[in-house]
Amino acid sequence: MTPVWTDIRQQLRVFLEQEIYPREPLMQSADHDRAEAVLAELAQKAKAQGLWAFGHPRELGGMGMPFMEYVYLNEVIAVSYTHLTLPTIYSV
């Protein structure tokens, strides 16, 4: 993994720890309207921090991340249980 992708992996880890994990109980709750609002907020924050569409080609607005680097990001993402029920936040 190149230093650039290693740095992004660390940024993603911090984002998950600071933004996603604390909100997981709310996103798993029965208040679906609130959960969707939080999800939309988190998606915007992820996009603003450049943590979005990693594996998508640059010409489609993604980061063009090579497959194996993307695999290493998924190791970080998989720690959160939210990805099992709310995959749109991880459309990275």
Ordered by where they begin, the domains of the chain are 3-90 (1.10.540)
Mean pLDDT score of the chain: 83
Please indicate whether residue 91 or residue 76 has the higher confidence score (pLDDT). Answer: 76
pLDDT of 13 reads 92
Q: What is the mean pLDDT of residues 10-15?
A: 93
pLDDT score of 39? 86
CA distance 14 to 80: 12
Dihedral angle of Cα 44, 47, 48, 51, to the nearest 10 degrees: 130
